[in-house]
Amino acid sequence: MEDYEKLGAFYLGRPYDLKNKKPKDGILLYDSRDLVTHAVCVGMTGSGKTGLCIALLEEAAIDGIPAIIIDPKGDLSNLLLTFPELKPDDFLPWVNEEDAQKKNLSTAEFAAQQSELWKKGLADWGQDGSRIKRLRDAADFRVYTPGSNAGIPVSILKSFDAPPQTIVDDDELLAERINTTATSLLGLLGIAADPLKSREHILLSNILGYAWKAGKSLDIAGLIQQIQSPPVKTLGAMEIDTFFPAKDRFELAMSLNNLLAAPGFASWMEGEPLDIQQILHTPEGKPRLAVFSIAHLNDAERMFFVSLLLNQTLGWMRTQSGTTSLRAILYMDEIFGYFPPTANPPSKQPLLTLLKQARAFGLGIVLVTQNPVDLDYKGLSNAGTWFIGRLQTERDKARMIEGLEGIASGGLKFDRNEMEQTIAGLGNRIFLLNNTHEEGTEIFETRWDMSYLRGPLTKSQIKKLMDPVKARSAPDSAPAAAAAAAGAAQAVPGAAVAVATETAKTAGAPRPTLPPGITEYFIPARGSASQGASLIYHPAVLGVADVGYSDAKSIDVSQHVSMLTPITSNPIPVDWSQAAVIDLPVDDLEKLPDESGGFADMPSGASKAKNYEAWQKDFSTWIYRNQKLDLLESPSLNVASNPGESERDFRVRLQQRAREQRDAATEKLRLKYAPKFAALEEKKRRAEQAVERETEQASGQKLQTAISFGATLLSSFMGRKAVSLTTLGRATTAARGVSRSMKESQDVGRAQETVEAVTQQMADLDAQFKEETAGLDKSATVQTEQLETISLKPKKTNISVKLVTLAWAPYWHSSEGQATPAWE
User: Of 50 and 312, which has the nearer Cβ to ligand ATP?
Assistant: 50
Query: How many of the other CB atoms lie within 10 Å of CB of 410?
Result: 10
Q: Please state the closest distance from residue 331 (CB atom) to ligand ATP, in A.
A: 13
Nearest residue to 352 via CA among 322, 378, 385, 386 = 378
DSSP secondary structure code for residue 415 in this structure: -
Q: Which residue is nearest to ligand ATP (CB)?
A: 51
In 375-426, alpha helices (H): 377-380, 394-408, 416-425
Q: Please state the closest distance from residue 50 (CB atom) to Mg ion, in A.
A: 3
Judged by CB under 5 A, the stretch of 22-30, 42-50, 493-501, 715-723 that binds Mg ion is 42-50
Judged by CB under 5 A, the stretch of 46-54, 571-579, 664-672, 707-715 that binds Mg ion is 46-54
User: Of 21 and 120, which has the nearer Cβ to ligand ATP?
Assistant: 120
Q: Are 170 and 298 in contact (CB under 8 A)?
A: no
Per partner kind, with CB cut-offs from 5 to 8 A, the member of Mg ion, ligand ATP, none near residue 45 is: ligand ATP
Q: Please state the closest distance from residue 86 (CB atom) to ligand ATP, in A.
A: 14
Q: DSSP letter string over 304-348?
A: HHHHHHHHHHHHHHHTSPP-SS--EEEEES--TTTS-SS---TTH
The three-point CA angle 153-159-165 to 5° equals 140
Radius of gyration of the chain (CA): 33
Give the residues across from 21 on adjacent strands: none
User: Of 370 and 754, which has the nearer Cβ to ligand ATP?
Assistant: 370
Q: Please state the closest distance from residue 354 (CB atom) to ligand ATP, in A.
A: 22
Per partner kind, with CB cut-offs from 5 to 8 A, the member of ligand ATP, Mg ion, none near residue 821 is: none
Kindly list the distances between the CA atom of residue 196 and the CA atoms of 179, 203, 227, 656, in Å, as whole numbers in the listed order.
10, 11, 18, 42
Q: Please state the closest distance from residue 53 (CB atom) to ligand ATP, in A.
A: 8
Q: Which residue is nearest to Mg ion (CB)?
A: 50
Examine residue 50 and tell whether it contacts Mg ion (CB under 5 A).
yes
Nearest residue to 150 via CA among 36, 277, 291 = 291
Per partner kind, with CB cut-offs from 5 to 8 A, the member of Mg ion, ligand ATP, none near residue 483 is: none
User: Of 43 and 147, which has the nearer Cβ to Mg ion?
Assistant: 43
Checking phi first, is residue 74 left (phi over 0); if not, alpha (psi -120 to 50) or beta?
left
Q: Is 265 exposed, middle or buried (0-12, 13-18, 19+ CB in 10 A)?
A: middle
User: Of 449 and 633, which has the nearer Cβ to ligand ATP?
Assistant: 449
Examine residue 434 and tell whether it contacts Mg ion (CB under 5 A).
no
Per partner kind, with CB cut-offs from 5 to 8 A, the member of Mg ion, ligand ATP, none near residue 446 is: ligand ATP
User: Of 428 and 820, which has the nearer Cβ to Mg ion?
Assistant: 428
Examine residue 446 and tell whether it contacts Mg ion (CB under 5 A).
no
Phi and psi angles of residue 364, each rounded to the nearest 5 degrees, phi first: -95, 135
Q: How far apart are CA 804 and CA 763, in angstroms?
A: 71
Per partner kind, with CB cut-offs from 5 to 8 A, the member of Mg ion, ligand ATP, none near residue 51 is: ligand ATP
DSSP secondary structure code for residue 7 in this structure: T
User: Of 54 and 401, which has the nearer Cβ to Mg ion?
Assistant: 54
Q: Please state the closest distance from residue 28 (CB atom) to ligand ATP, in A.
A: 12
Q: Residue 480 is which amino acid?
A: A
Q: Please state the closest distance from residue 368 (CB atom) to Mg ion, in A.
A: 7
Per partner kind, with CB cut-offs from 5 to 8 A, the member of ligand ATP, Mg ion, none near residue 370 is: ligand ATP
CB-based contacts of 368: which residues, under 8 Å, 6+ apart?
40, 41, 42, 49, 50, 53, 331, 332, 333, 334, 335
Q: Where are the beta strands (DSSP E) in 712-798?
A: 788-792
Judged by CB under 5 A, the stretch of 50-58, 194-202, 542-550, 802-810 that binds Mg ion is 50-58
Q: How many residues bind Mg ion (CB under 5 A)?
A: 1
Per partner kind, with CB cut-offs from 5 to 8 A, the member of ligand ATP, Mg ion, none near residue 55 is: ligand ATP
Q: Please state the closest distance from residue 126 (CB atom) to Mg ion, in A.
A: 25
User: Of 13 and 195, which has the nearer Cβ to ligand ATP?
Assistant: 13
DSSP H or E stretch at residue 693 = helix 647-699
DSSP H or E stretch at residue 522 = strand 520-522
Q: Please state the closest distance from residue 95 (CB atom) to ligand ATP, in A.
A: 12
User: Of 50 and 179, which has the nearer Cβ to Mg ion?
Assistant: 50
Q: Please state the closest distance from residue 73 (CB atom) to Mg ion, in A.
A: 6
- Three-class SS of 274-300: CCHHHHHECCCCCEEEEEEECCCCCHH
Q: How far apart are CA 212 and CA 180, in angstroms?
A: 14
Could you say which residues in the range 195-254 bind Mg ion, by CB under 5 A?
none
Residues that bind ligand ATP (CB under 6 A): 43, 45-51, 55, 121, 370, 429, 446, 448-449, 453
Q: Where are the beta strands (DSSP E) in 607-670?
A: 629-634, 639-640
Per partner kind, with CB cut-offs from 5 to 8 A, the member of Mg ion, ligand ATP, none near residue 754 is: none
Q: How far apart are CA 434 and CA 412, in angstroms?
A: 9
User: Of 335 and 679, which has the nearer Cβ to ligand ATP?
Assistant: 335
CB-based contacts of 378: which residues, under 8 Å, 6+ apart?
none
Q: How far apart are CA 770 and CA 774, in angstroms?
A: 6
Q: Please state the closest distance from residue 12 (CB atom) to ligand ATP, in A.
A: 9
Q: DSSP letter string over 241-256?
A: HHHS-HHHHHHHHHHH
Q: How far apart are CA 530 and CA 730, in angstroms?
A: 80
User: Of 180 and 446, which has the nearer Cβ to ligand ATP?
Assistant: 446
Q: How far apart are CA 717 and CA 757, in angstroms?
A: 22
User: Of 50 and 325, which has the nearer Cβ to Mg ion?
Assistant: 50
Q: Please state the closest distance from residue 75 (CB atom) to Mg ion, in A.
A: 5
User: Of 64 and 74, which has the nearer Cβ to ligand ATP?
Assistant: 74
User: Of 50 and 501, which has the nearer Cβ to Mg ion?
Assistant: 50
User: Of 293 and 349, which has the nearer Cβ to ligand ATP?
Assistant: 293
Examine residue 47 and tell whether it contacts Mg ion (CB under 5 A).
no
Q: Please state the closest distance from residue 369 (CB atom) to ligand ATP, in A.
A: 8
Q: Please state the closest distance from residue 147 (CB atom) to Mg ion, in A.
A: 22
Kindly list the distances between the CA atom of residue 555 and the CA atoms of 473, 550, 636, 720, 783, in Å, as whole numbers in the listed order.
36, 5, 16, 42, 21
Per partner kind, with CB cut-offs from 5 to 8 A, the member of Mg ion, ligand ATP, none near residue 738 is: none
Q: How far apart are CA 244 and CA 420, in angstroms?
A: 56
Q: Please state the closest distance from residue 36 (CB atom) to ligand ATP, in A.
A: 24
Contact residues toward Mg ion (CB under 5 A) are 50
